[in-house]
């Protein structure tokens, strides 16, 4: 699963360099420059990738018993 996450993050980084949108003047919804719309998509894509990573590749060794034990004694 970690390999999938790494590939997803690398894809985001490559897609971020959108040279094909550089000089495009079209507007989305009549007001949003296409280059900006595309990068809003990148932001949403990043949120999805991180949701995916947190759901399916959360480092399980992080939540060790000693951490949980120390948490049980603390107050919010």
Positions that interact with other proteins (CB under 8 A): 9, 12-13, 16-19, 21-25, 27, 29-33, 35-36, 38-40, 42-44, 46-47, 49-51, 53-54, 58-59, 61-64, 66-68, 70-71, 74-76
Identify the CA nearest to 12 among candidates 43, 53, 34, 33. Answer: 43
Cβ count near 53 (within 10 Å): 18
CA 74: distance to chain centroid?
A: 32
Tokens of 39: 């990068």
């Amino acid at each position: 699963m970690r390999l999938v996450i790494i590939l997803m993050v690398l894809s985001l980084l490559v897609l971020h360099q959108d040279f094909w949108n550089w000089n495009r003047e079209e507007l989305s919804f009549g007001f949003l420059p296409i280059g900006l719309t595309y990068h809003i998509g990148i932001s949403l894509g990043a949120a999805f990738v991180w949701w995916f990573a947190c759901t399916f590749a959360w480092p399980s060794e992080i939540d060790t018993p000693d951490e949980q034990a120390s948490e049980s004694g603390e107050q919010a």
